[in-house]
Amino acid sequence: MDLLDTPSSVAEISLPDQKPWRHKRQEAAQPRPMSPFQLRIHRCLCLLVFSMIFEGITRKLAPSWLGNVIFFFKDLVAVILLLILVTGNPNVTAKRWLRIMGILFVLLGPCILLTAIKDPLLAIFGTKQYMLFPIAAVAMCAAYLPHHLRQFFSLFKWIALSVIMTTLVAVAQNQLPASNWLNLSVGGDDLSRFAAGGYLRVSSTFPFVGQYCDYLNALCYCLPVYFIFNKAFSGRAASLQTVVLIGLAIAGTFVTGSRTSVIGNAGILCAAGLLLVVCGGLRAISKVIIPVVCGIVLLGLIESKYPEFFAAYQARVSGTGEVSHTIEMKKRILSGLLDWTDGTVEAPPSLLGYGLGVMSNGSDKLSNYAAEWRRNGYWTETDQATTFFEGGWYLVLVWYGFRFWVIISSVALVTKLRCLEFQIAACFAWGYILVIGVTGVLAIQPAIAIWWWLAVGLITCLSHFDRELRKNKQASDFVLR
């Protein structure tokens, strides 16, 4: 049986009078098999995650004609997930999320129609950018609810363990010359012009630095989930493994030379910590204080032992003769949050914008209409400016209204959790949802959208697991303590 069984089936367990804890753990160690429907979804979710993590190195190793196939592979997996869900019989929670996706599709209808008039293929691509990737949250609910906590944990276990491979590749790139194949772009271009402090800004197994940073930001919730549930399921603290993974995550965060990874992680962890204080108080803080102290100590040790890992980052934060790093970052953040019309100079503000997906990466390869905008020098780097340009004031209202609804709904679920371990995991996930939901380029980069929706699915699943545990206090006493 699974760790989170229904109250009726938990009550049916026949436990001997002697050594009940051993028998309870033996019972708990036998997970209930997933249905074929759920197993297909679980496998697709694992495939989706690993297609993102290893997309870059796969494209470097594969023949050039396979490049576009690999690039769109995560989209294909997401479409397969959607087809499995709409043709199957998912649980109530998954169906509710599907209905929410349907409502969003209807609300985006005017923008989709306007884009289709200009370029039907771009309309499909743009709709995909906004509409397809919430399927990650739907799939998590369909695969793991109501009783499959162990399989739920296995997804995050492999994400957490992937930091071993990604950091080793990043460190190798840091030591290799710019001409090495591992340091070239997926198209074979030399990236030495992006070096700082004499070291490249590495991308690890990802197609480019930004996507590696997205993954490192997502580790802010994936690693805590793994640490918490690894202790619960293994019955041991696994301290050495925790130290190793934290150290590798720190090394990877700085070896990128990217301020997005460092500042993004800091913001996510601060938001998570504040919510954790509100929800769990001192008891919750006492659970995470040792990993936090461990991380601070490791940061100092790694920087003193391997200063080359920090060289590119230090060069980029040193500022320039014209402006300090602090002022520069403040201007960037304020511009990203407030300058909605960035990139729309000479293009007058529009009620419905100029077409969904027109400013997204890769759209110029599919659409002559999008390519024309790019040739004319238009480019909106921030998510806010992209939303405004592609869908005008209408899309700003719909898209950001939807995102803030997700943020508020998620924190409401977190505050209702009673299991301390679930609270900790959910707080880290919500820190990611808040920071990326406000600043992240969810409509430009599919990978970051998938990581974001996985965090939403995580909180939704934990909320249901928590309710199941409260239905049977005896089960909760031995599942996680």
Kindly report the number of other CB atoms within 10 A of residue 481's CB atom.
9
Joined tokens for residue 350:
């529009």
Q: Give me the count of residues in the chain.
A: 481
DSSP 307: G
Rounded to whole angstroms, how far apart are CA atoms 345 and 339? Answer: 12
Nearest to 444 by CA among 161, 133, 149, 178: 133
Rounded to whole angstroms, how far apart are CA atoms 73 and 337? Answer: 31
Joined tokens for residue 468:
């199941």
C-beta of residue 275 within 8 angstroms of C-beta of residue 427: yes
Q: In the prediction, which pLDDT does 7 show?
A: 35
Nearest to 81 by CA among 127, 33, 132, 25: 132
Query: Residue 232 — pLDDT band, cuts 50, 70, 90?
Result: low
User: Measured on CA atoms in the order 467, 473, 475, 478, is the torsion positive or negative?
Assistant: positive
List the end-to-end C-alpha distance of the chain, in Å, as a whole number.
18
Q: Mean pLDDT across the chain, nearest whole number?
A: 83
CA angle 289, 291, 292 (to 5 degrees): 60
Region 163-184: what's the mean pLDDT?
93
C-beta of residue 248 within 8 angstroms of C-beta of residue 163: yes
CA angle 430, 436, 438 (to 5 degrees): 100
pLDDT at residue 323 tops 60: no
- pLDDT tens for each residue of 378-435: 777 778 888 888 888 899 999 999 999 999 999 999 999 988 889 999 999 999 999 9
Cis peptide, bond prior to residue 146, ω within 30 of zero: yes
Contacts of 176 (CB under 8 A, 6+ apart): 182, 183
Rounded to whole angstroms, how far apart are CA atoms 248 and 242? Answer: 10
- Which residue is associated with the tokens 């993102």? 52
Rounded to whole angstroms, how far apart are CA atoms 110 and 236? Answer: 55
State the amino acid at position 347 in one-letter form: A
Domain spans of the chain, in order of start: 7-479
* Coil, helix or strand at residue 148: coil
Q: In the prediction, which pLDDT does 178 show?
A: 87
Joined tokens for residue 167:
């950091």
Question: The pTM is what?
Answer: 0.87
pLDDT at residue 465 tops 60: yes
Q: What are the Cα distances from residue 84, in Å, to 1, 37, 50, 144, 457?
A: 26, 8, 19, 15, 17
Residue 350, phi then psi, degrees to nearest 5: -130, 150
pLDDT at residue 20 tops 70: no
Give pairs for 393-398: CB < 8 Å, separation 24+.
Answer: 393/349, 393/350, 393/351, 394/110, 394/111, 394/351, 394/352, 394/353, 395/108, 395/111, 395/352, 395/353, 395/356, 396/340, 398/104, 398/107, 398/108
Region 123-129: what's the mean pLDDT?
92
Contacts of 9 (CB under 8 A, 6+ apart): 1
Kindly report the number of other CB atoms within 10 A of residue 293's CB atom.
10
- pLDDT tens for each residue of 144-160: 998 888 899 999 999 99
Q: In the prediction, which pLDDT does 365 show?
A: 81
- pLDDT tens for each residue of 361-393: 778 788 889 888 888 877 777 788 888 888 888
- pLDDT tens for each residue of 279-314: 888 888 888 888 888 899 999 999 999 999 998 888
Q: In the prediction, which pLDDT does 207 show?
A: 92
- pLDDT tens for each residue of 46-77: 999 999 999 999 999 988 888 888 988 999 99
CA angle 206, 136, 122 (to 5 degrees): 75
